[in-house]
Chains A and B, each alone.
Chain A
């Protein structure tokens, strides 16, 4: 580190920058994006294969181990990625502090509720499979 830097060593090693949050948000958005490339392609192909399938056939598919695990991963990555992205959109376009914070909290809360509901559904169906 240059002796002319205005940052203290502690500031530099924490790596949190002026936003105080570091690159965590940016990085998580990219990692989930990368994971979603194969997961969404697999999901779309699977759903197309299930067009016109009966309830029993769809339940059988969800209850098999590989689809169940991949669905859990898909749900986790999707909702994490979605709430990170929506947060950025809200931060860019909503300038009133109260409305901005309220919307972000709503989006984060909704993402958690929807993700847990979807995960619960998958695990419930999986438990029937035995």
Chain B
């Protein structure tokens, strides 16, 4: 029996095929692992911006006592102290989580249980190191 020819279909508009899209982050429930991952990036960007403070401090020290006094008084102001607190917390987070990443790069610690344990260890280390640094600094 001959196959009936199909009716010519109307020309389709040129549209992107309905392929599955990459994950929509906004429909995911935040998890420790994903929160730490994006925080690693955020703290990295913050630390990069924070290098401006380091450069300012060094150039002021190389310029003379007057320029240095300006930096010192800014760092001692509420805004300066707030920036330094954010900078130390970002540094300790990025440092701890960076060590976690280096273990992953070596192929270690990929078990789900281990990633959660190391993740909480990063959170605890960040808080403890930040508090210790400020207690020591303000002592």
Contacts and interface: CB of A to CB of B under 8 A. Distances in A.
Contact of A78 (B51, B95, B105): B51
Interface string B107-139: 000000000000000000000000001001110
30 contacts: A37-B95, A40-B95, A41-B95, A44-B133, A48-B136, A51-B137, A55-B61, A55-B65, A55-B68, A55-B69, A58-B68, A62-B58, A71-B58, A78-B54, A82-B51, A85-B48, A86-B45, A114-B55, A117-B55, A117-B58, A117-B59, A118-B55, A118-B58, A120-B62, A121-B58, A121-B59, A121-B62, A125-B58, A125-B61, A125-B62
Interface in B79-110: 88, 91, 95, 98-99, 101-102, 105
Interface string A86-102: 10010000000000000
B96 to A, nearest CB: 10
Interface residues of B, number: 29
Contacts, number: 72
A34 interface: yes
Given A40-B95, A48-B133, A55-B69, A124 B62 contact: yes
B7 interface: no
Q: How large is the interface on A (under 10, 10 to 19, 20 to 34, 35 or more residues)?
A: 20 to 34
A118 B54 CA distance: 8
Contacts of A33: 98, 101-102
B102 A30 contact: yes
Interface of B: 41, 44-45, 47-48, 51-52, 54-55, 58-59, 61-62, 64-65, 68-69, 88, 91, 95, 98-99, 101-102, 105, 133, 136-138
Nearest to B92: A44
A80 to B, nearest CB: 12
B61 A58 contact: yes
B44 A89 contact: yes
